[in-house]
A and B are shown apart, each in its own frame.
Chain A
Amino acid sequence: MVQLLTPDGEYGVAKQWSEYAQYIDKLTEADFLKFYRDMARMRRFDKEAEALQRQGQLGLWIPAVGQEAAQIGSGYGVGHNDHIFPSYREHGVAITHGIDLMSILKMLRGVNHGGWNPEETRFHLYAIVLGSQVLHATGYAMGVKMDGKVGNGDIENDLAVISYFGDGATAEGDISESFLFAAINHSPIVFFCQNNQWAISSPVTSQTKVPLYQRGAGFGVPGIRIDGNDILASYAVTAKHMDEAREGAGPFLIEALTYRMGAHTTSDDPTKYRDAAEVEYWKARDPLLRFETFLRRQGIAQDFFDEVAEAGEKLSTEIREATFALPAPPVEHMFKYVYSEPHPLIEEQLAWLHKYEAGFGEAAHE
């Protein structure tokens, strides 16, 4: 397992991982501070969104607390041309690619379907259907290769694809199909599996008999396991394998061992299916705390951490006020984006809804 930062925040590189450490050597202090800021931002955003859901402002929230290192690290390991296919929990990766966080809240409030343009952001829309995004990513990567945008040594135009999914998704046929297609086509894709130990209430032991990073081997997709709560390992390993994919090395699988500290979504209660001792174990491996310890050892002053905390307060207030102020979307939007062209069935349904709503209008006038 690749680990560059111990849970105590000590930086150290075992000999066999020195090729990854080269990526860390290129980072500046500003990069480290950016990593930390975004991890803290991600956690603050998550906590506020959860509160908003509990106050009836969001239909659902999908917490990612505990997965900050896996997401912010790997998010920054993705190149400026690469495309990202997230699941529904990649709020951190979204942060690293400049997605307006309100877009995510709008989607979970039912105001829009995501609302960002994947062509502009290269961060594709959240996939709610489990594992489906990995197929989309695999297809996209096949297309990239067909377009000849791989292995030209052209940093400006070559690109690779990364897809995020969880341990639960690996038990879906979609993931095995993706491995096979990616391997057969030698596609420029990195499969990034955040093994957060729980697929809703199913433990990872009920998802696989072999460690997940070995899952791709039989299909021809080599893999590696990293400490997913170590942001430096997450960044370096992603960056290296994205570089290699872009250079034509074919698909690669990264399994990031991490832990979902909260519920699967606000609709379930993790205390019903997992033991408090397990949660305590992982609390001691908090990725944010680990990186903070590292930064303090590097001599980063308290001022910086104060400034980050202050920014967190500001973010909370901003998204809280913006969420309360969100207008209801016009009902037409429900129908507008189903097909690209007018469709008789959709028109019929829209007409029915208008008539149905009008039925209440009449009653109200009585």
Chain B
Amino acid sequence: MTTVAYFNLPDVGEGLTEAEIVSWKVKAGDTVSVNQVIVEIETAKSLVELPCPFAGIVSELMAKEGDTVEVGNPIISVTVPDGATTAAVTTSIPVIAENAASAHQAVADAAASVSTEERSPTLVGYGVSHSLGGTRRRRPGAVNPPVAPGASIPVATSLAAPAATAIPLAAENLATGAIQLPNIADGVLAKPPVRKLARDLGVDLAGVVGSGLNGEITREDVVGGAQQASVFRNLSTPAPKSEREERIPVKGVRKAIANAMVSSAFSAPHVSIFVDVDATRTMEYVKRLKASTDFAGVKVTPLLIMAKAMIWAVRRNPMVNSTFTEEEIIVHNFVNFGIAAATPRGLIVPNIKDADQMSMLELAKAIEQLAATAREGKTTPADMKDGTITITNIGVFGVDTGTPILNPGEVAIVALGSIRPKPWVVSNEIQVRQVTTIGATFDHRVVDGDVASRFVQDVASVIEEPALLLD
């Protein structure tokens, strides 16, 4: 009897997510022994040889040379005689993507991809820099390590004498050893808080001219750079790629998004409506809330007022907060308020449970928390379950409006467009007002045109006059 054992690609560094197969040292049918080198892989950090954990006969190489494999995926299967290193066989289980664990995996991946964005925490030594991830290619022998000043390559000499005092190595040449200045990795002088500010504002420090001592980049330089950046943000268009097409595997979150969108778009007849609205008062309200002591330290955005407006409008038009099944329409008398969030892994829609029970302050905190959790990739499946209505804030991307697709199981979704100064007719005169467009999509099986229009009008009226929330 034999068993097939799988060797999953290990994380040979700390916090690596993938590696490239450089060369196989074995092929199917070969006999391998424990710790025999079977493959050379290249990670973001180094070229590494992997020893085989099992003894047996190679049944299949599960990745080709040149393939980039995610950590945890099987790369080789080995037919192992029963009784031999059974512990090893049973502990190595191939990762099956399409099972319940995949949700766990997706979240873990999201966490991994977020955490590697800058520098992964490591136990000893340096972490891997994301900028190196997967793109750095080193050919053996291509790199000449710098020889430290004064550290001449030692030559075997006088160690044979028992009391030899001269050992030819770096430490003996200390008197002449010039000490190198610390290496500034990116060639930019800037203090950590300034670097963080630059990151937050999306400013590339390499393109900022420092006005400080020795060309150090100051806070003001970054802010100035940010204003420049916002004007010129679309000017650096990447050059077209040389290959004619690029194939991106549909998996993980992207696959889940695709399935949800198709099932929603083809099971629920969508109807979308739009209304332009003067959001000047909402913007003033946001400004006042930001300045109030109660909201100190809490993030206040137009999205918050929008959420409140929708919850208020749901109370007046409960049908938009329901679920359609073939037998019945379930009208929810609570609001689990979904917010579509763009994360490094793709779109997810976590929701705030019982948002209708929350005060403005509680809701503001809940939105902030939800966004932070999503950004860190820590959103759980439970966070995404049982939503009743959703908002998608496409305005943050500078877009006026769009026709959103329903989150499966829900019958209404609202898109908040960008809010910006535009000409607006007030008392027959053209004035500059903060204008936005509210777009909304409904499941026509449940929500008819009149209900849909009333709901959107209600939301719009709150945006026009937030004082209505006092109702």
Q: Which residues of A contact B (CB under 8 A)?
A: 1, 3-4, 6-8, 10, 12-17, 48, 51, 53-57, 59-60, 62, 88, 128, 195, 197, 200, 203-206, 208-212, 227, 257, 264-269, 271-275, 277-278, 281, 284-285, 320-321, 324-325, 356, 358-360, 362-364
Q: Establish whether residues A272 and B46, one from each chain, have CB atoms under 8 Å apart when the complex forms.
A: yes
Can you list 30 A-B contacts (CB < 8 A)?
A4-B162, A8-B160, A48-B35, A51-B35, A54-B12, A54-B50, A55-B50, A56-B10, A59-B123, A128-B123, A195-B171, A205-B148, A205-B171, A205-B173, A205-B174, A209-B179, A211-B171, A265-B125, A267-B12, A267-B128, A271-B145, A275-B153, A278-B153, A281-B155, A281-B156, A284-B156, A285-B159, A320-B88, A325-B87, A359-B381
Does B380 belong to the interface (CB within 8 Å)? yes
Instruction: Give 1 or 0 for each of B1-41: 1 = CB within 8 Å of chain A CB.
Output: 00000011111111000000000000000000011000000
Does B207 belong to the interface (CB within 8 Å)? no
Interface residue from B10, B91, B169, B180 paired with A197 (Cβ < 8 Å)? B169
B222 to chain A, nearest CB (A): 31
Chain A residue contacts of B51, Cβ below 8 A: 51, 54-55
Q: Establish whether residues B124 and A17, one from each chain, have CB atoms under 8 Å apart when the complex forms.
A: no
Q: Establish whether residues B162 and A267, one from each chain, have CB atoms under 8 Å apart when the complex forms.
A: no
Does B250 belong to the interface (CB within 8 Å)? no
Q: Establish whether residues B380 and A359, one from each chain, have CB atoms under 8 Å apart when the complex forms.
A: yes
Chain A residue contacts of B180, Cβ below 8 A: 206
Instruction: Give 1 or 0 for each of B199-231: 1 = CB within 8 Å of chain A CB.
Output: 000000000000000000000000000000000
A182 to chain B, nearest CB (A): 23
Query: How far is B159's CA from A56's CA once the two chains are assembled, in angstroms?
Result: 41
Interface residue from A57, A200, A210, A360 paired with B103 (Cβ < 8 Å)? A360
Query: How far is B123's CA from A127's CA once the two chains are assembled, in angstroms?
Result: 11
Instruction: Give 1 or 0 for each of B143-156: 1 = CB within 8 Å of chain A CB.
Output: 10111111101111
Chain B residue contacts of A272, Cβ below 8 A: 46, 138, 143, 145
Q: Lowest 9 A-B CB distances belong to which pairs?
A: A56-B10, A14-B163, A269-B46, A12-B162, A359-B380, A363-B381, A364-B100, A205-B177, A359-B382
Q: Establish whether residues B45 and A56, one from each chain, have CB atoms under 8 Å apart when the complex forms.
A: no
> Told that A55-B10, A281-B153 touch, could you supply 19 new A-B pairs with CB distance under 8 A?
A6-B162, A51-B35, A55-B50, A55-B52, A59-B11, A59-B14, A62-B124, A205-B171, A206-B148, A264-B125, A265-B125, A266-B12, A267-B13, A267-B14, A324-B88, A360-B100, A362-B381, A363-B381, A364-B103
Does B430 belong to the interface (CB within 8 Å)? no
Q: Establish whether residues A321 and B103, one from each chain, have CB atoms under 8 Å apart when the complex forms.
A: no
Residue of B nearest to A359 (CB): B380
Chain A residue contacts of B149, Cβ below 8 A: 205
Q: Count how many pairs of residues, one from A and one from B, have CB atoms less than 8 Å apart in the complex.
A: 183
B139 to chain A, nearest CB (A): 12
Residue of A nearest to B90 (CB): A324
Does B161 belong to the interface (CB within 8 Å)? yes
Interface residue from A17, A203, A320, A359 paired with B170 (Cβ < 8 Å)? A203
A102 to chain B, nearest CB (A): 14
Does B464 belong to the interface (CB within 8 Å)? no
Q: Establish whether residues B170 and A60, one from each chain, have CB atoms under 8 Å apart when the complex forms.
A: no
Interface residue from A14, A206, A264, A364 paired with B124 (Cβ < 8 Å)? A264
Chain B residue contacts of A266, Cβ below 8 A: 12-13
B127 to chain A, nearest CB (A): 8
Residue of B nearest to A53 (CB): B12
Chain A residue contacts of B10, Cβ below 8 A: 53-57
Question: Main SS of the interface on chain B?
Answer: loop
Residue of A nearest to B176 (CB): A205
Chain B residue contacts of A364, Cβ below 8 A: 100-101, 103
Q: Establish whether residues A203 and B151, one from each chain, have CB atoms under 8 Å apart when the complex forms.
A: yes
Query: How far is B46's CA from A266's CA once the two chains are assembled, in angstroms?
Result: 10
Chain A residue contacts of B179, Cβ below 8 A: 205-206, 209
Interface residues on chain B, number (Cβ under 8 Å): 70
Residue of A nearest to B180 (CB): A206
Chain A residue contacts of B104, Cβ below 8 A: 360
Query: How far is B14's CA from A6's CA once the two chains are assembled, in angstroms?
Result: 39
Q: Establish whether residues A257 and B167, one from each chain, have CB atoms under 8 Å apart when the complex forms.
A: yes
Q: Establish whether residues B48 and A54, one from each chain, have CB atoms under 8 Å apart when the complex forms.
A: yes
Q: Establish whether residues A203 and B148, one from each chain, have CB atoms under 8 Å apart when the complex forms.
A: yes
Chain B residue contacts of A128, Cβ below 8 A: 123-124
Known: A54-B10, A268-B46, A275-B145. A200 touches B126 (CB 8 A): yes
B246 to chain A, nearest CB (A): 30
Instruction: Give 1 or 0 for each of B171-211: 1 = CB within 8 Å of chain A CB.
Output: 11111010110000000000000000000000000000000
Residue of B nearest to A200 (CB): B125
Does B60 belong to the interface (CB within 8 Å)? no
Residue of A nearest to B120 (CB): A267
A283 to chain B, nearest CB (A): 11
Known: A56-B8, A362-B385. A268 touches B126 (CB 8 A): yes
Does B273 belong to the interface (CB within 8 Å)? no
Interface residue from B11, B124, B161, B162 paired with A265 (Cβ < 8 Å)? B124
Residue of A nearest to B34 (CB): A320
Query: How far is B151's CA from A363's CA once the two chains are assembled, in angstroms?
Result: 59
Residue of A nearest to B161 (CB): A6
Q: Establish whether residues A55 and B7, one from each chain, have CB atoms under 8 Å apart when the complex forms.
A: yes
Which B residues between 292 and 332 are near A, CB-CB below 8 angstroms?
none
Q: Establish whether residues B126 and A197, one from each chain, have CB atoms under 8 Å apart when the complex forms.
A: no
Chain A residue contacts of B11, Cβ below 8 A: 56, 59
Q: Establish whether residues B382 and A274, one from each chain, have CB atoms under 8 Å apart when the complex forms.
A: no
Q: Establish whether residues B160 and A7, one from each chain, have CB atoms under 8 Å apart when the complex forms.
A: yes
Does B368 belong to the interface (CB within 8 Å)? no
Known: A267-B13, A359-B381. A1 touches B124 (CB 8 A): no
Query: How far is B35's CA from A13's CA once the two chains are assembled, in angstroms?
Result: 42
Chain A residue contacts of B88, Cβ below 8 A: 320-321, 324
Interface residue from B9, B48, B170 paired with A205 (Cβ < 8 Å)? B170
Q: Establish whether residues B12 and A363, one from each chain, have CB atoms under 8 Å apart when the complex forms.
A: no
Query: How far is B50's CA from A4's CA once the two chains are assembled, in angstroms?
Result: 39
Chain A residue contacts of B383, Cβ below 8 A: 359
Chain B residue contacts of A59, Cβ below 8 A: 11, 14, 123
Query: How far is B19's CA from A294's CA once the two chains are assembled, in angstroms?
Result: 44
Chain B residue contacts of A57, Cβ below 8 A: 10, 53
User: Which of B103, B125, B385 has the most C-beta atoms of chain A within 10 angstroms of its own C-beta?
Assistant: B125
Instruction: Give 1 or 0 for each of B119-137: 1 = CB within 8 Å of chain A CB.
Output: 0001111101000000000
A217 to chain B, nearest CB (A): 14
Chain B residue contacts of A275, Cβ below 8 A: 145, 147, 153
A190 to chain B, nearest CB (A): 20
B149 to chain A, nearest CB (A): 7
Chain A residue contacts of B103, Cβ below 8 A: 360, 363-364
Chain A residue contacts of B85, Cβ below 8 A: 320-321, 324
Does B253 belong to the interface (CB within 8 Å)? no
Chain B residue contacts of A267, Cβ below 8 A: 12-14, 45, 122, 124-126, 128
Known: A267-B13, A268-B126, A363-B103. A273 touches B170 (CB 8 A): no
